[in-house]
Amino acid sequence: MDCVYDNTKFVSRKDTGAIMNAQIEPIERSSEVEKSLYIKIPFMRKVLYNLGDVGNSFSWGFVASFLVIFYTDVFGISAAAVSLMLLISRLWDGLNDPIVGIMADRTVTKWGRYRPWILFGMVPLAIFTVLTFWAHPEFSPSGKLIYAYITYFFLSFFNTCVIVPHASLISAMTQDPNERSKLAGMRMAFGFIGNTIVGILVVNMVPFFGQGDNVKGYLYTAFVMAFVLAIPMFTIDFLGTKEVVNPPRNQLKVSTKKLIAGALKNKYLIMCCVAIFIVGLGHYTRMTSLMYYFTYVIRDRSLIAGYMLFLNLPFVAGALSASLISKKLGNKGKTFAYASFSAGISMILGFWFTPIGNPMTFYILTIMTGFFTGIMGGSAFSMVPDTVEYGQLMTGERSAGFNQSLTTFWNTIGIAIGSAGVALMLSILGYVPNVEQTSIVLNGIRMTMFILPGIITFIGGIMFLFYKLDFAMFDRIVSMLQAESDR
């Protein structure tokens, strides 16, 4: 019989849901949880791991923040065509995210399951980052679109090959939920440190390399981002990490059908997908609007670097604080909920202020938005590894890579809708590149910069008031799994 342990007896796995939904009292880890895999990761190893997220900022963060304005204002592709391309590309991601996750779970090498993907995926990722930002203004409109589709499709695939295994490493490096929270918080912090560096570098490197020629400026900037900066970060990530938590001995290969069925039973994984979708949608709606906002509404791009500092440094503080707040509350989901409400209100209020007319209020709200968004990101991404053990208890299968691929997929869907939605809105409102915009377009840019992401963020926090996979429940799950494996 397929059984699990309920702390006093073995029971059928189909009854596990009732056990997990029952009132669970806190337990002492020392008495019920064998802590050999509750590994305390040295600080330096955490830093080496999270340098991979800095590398991801130099590649995918650069793409997410600057690709739309590159396509419309440099490559000469219409905003409507860009919007459609980004949405279609996400359908491609809908296929390759789970595929890569499943393949990574099935990978067996002397380096582990996930680390080899980082090693062998980083160079193709760098190549297609450069090719994506190589504009060809001499191409016909159809030729430009074909080139954009091909390069962006391959870019998104190789990004998946690197970032899904990288994110999956958290569940393989330790089983301690608090350590996972710290790793996830540092992931967000290092990612936003990277994004801050990207924002500062790109607005200065493009004119420096281009000398008036933005085609050349973006091409050379992409080369520096991908090869000079990203590849060394990914290499350190590969060399500096170690996988210690492995699947059950009898799980070498699991059918895709079983993985999908298990994911549908994993309500906390579904909630994590929602959380990370919200993070991606809200953040990249703002980041895509950012260049348009400072270029056409504020009319001063030089303020972008300062804005990024006021947004991202508090974000780093928030992301690093997420584990402390979650530990205090004993529940990562409630941490996400409270941060969502606060971040959403801060974003919405920002609509009525500008960095020129009301600089103090504007930047205070920017600091608040960054801090609470950082807590959101840190708690959201730290919830994902915990769903692995919950899913293993419910189905008997451990699928860290597949779980991570689903959340990555929904994050990229959020990014795509955010980026494509801004491009579509601009097209509908009559945006014309490199000219003074109408008041309708300007108000539309302000709406996508503040109001829409604020509303989405606030509403998204409501369901996490009911998140029950807290620290006590997680410890109980681990004790059940240990009892089962000892049979």
Please tell me the predicted confidence (pLDDT) of residue 34.
56
Asked whether 419 and 86 are in contact (CB, 8 A), the reply is yes
Q: Which candidate, 451, 460, 455, places its Cα nearest to that of 425?
A: 451
Asked whether 245 and 172 are in contact (CB, 8 A), the reply is yes
**CA–CA dist 299, 436 (Å, integer):** 10
Please tell me the predicted confidence (pLDDT) of residue 255.
66
Give the least confident one: 160-164, 244-248, 371-375: 244-248
Q: Mean pLDDT across the chain, nearest whole number? A: 84
Helix, strand, or coil (residue 11): strand
Look at residue 357 and tell me whether its pLDDT is greater than 70. Answer: yes
Which element (helix H / strand E) includes 380? helix 359-395
- pLDDT band of residue 36 (cuts 50, 70, 90) is low
Could you report the per-residue pLDDT of 290-337, keeping only the tens digit for each? 889 999 999 998 898 789 889 888 988 998 899 899 989 989 999 999
User: Domains of the chain by range and CATH?
Assistant: 3-242+256-485 (1.20.1250.20)
Its sign, for the CA torsion 430, 280, 397, 160, is: positive
Please tell me the predicted confidence (pLDDT) of residue 189.
80
Helix, strand, or coil (residue 109): coil
Look at residue 253 and tell me whether its pLDDT is greater than 80. Answer: no
Q: Which residue has the tokens 């996988």?
A: 243
Q: Which candidate, 193, 168, 196, 164, places its Cα nearest to that of 180?
A: 168
pLDDT exceeding 90 applies to what percent of the chain? Answer: 41
Q: Which two tokens stand for residue 351?
A: 């609509």
Give the least confident one: 16-20, 31-35, 236-240: 16-20
12 vs 171 pLDDT, higher one: 171
Q: Which candidate, 389, 373, 350, 412, places its Cα nearest to that of 478?
A: 389
**What's 395-441 look like in SS3?**
HCCCCHHHHHHHHHHHHHHHHHHHHHHHHHHHHHHCCCCCCCCCHHH
Could you report the per-residue pLDDT of 77-129, keeping only the tens digit for each? 988 888 888 778 767 776 788 888 888 888 888 888 899 999 999 999 999 99
Please tell me the predicted confidence (pLDDT) of residue 22.
41
- pLDDT band of residue 487 (cuts 50, 70, 90) is low
Please tell me the predicted confidence (pLDDT) of residue 413.
80
Could you report the per-residue pLDDT of 372-424, keeping only the tens digit for each? 999 998 898 889 888 888 888 887 777 777 887 788 778 878 877 887 788 88
Look at residue 261 and tell me whether its pLDDT is greater than 80. Answer: no
Q: Which two tokens stand for residue 103?
A: 């393949």
Look at residue 23 and tell me whether its pLDDT is greater than 50. Answer: no
pTM exceeding the 0.95 threshold for the entire prediction: no
**CA–CA dist 419, 408 (Å, integer):** 16
Angle at 477 between CA 245 and CA 274, to 5 degrees: 85
Q: What is the CA radius of gyration of the chain?
A: 22
Residue type for position 385: P
Could you report the per-residue pLDDT of 174-229, keeping only the tens digit for each? 888 888 888 888 887 888 788 888 988 998 999 999 998 999 999 999 999 999 99
Could you report the per-residue pLDDT of 426-472, keeping only the tens digit for each? 889 999 888 889 999 999 999 999 999 999 999 989 989 989 988 88
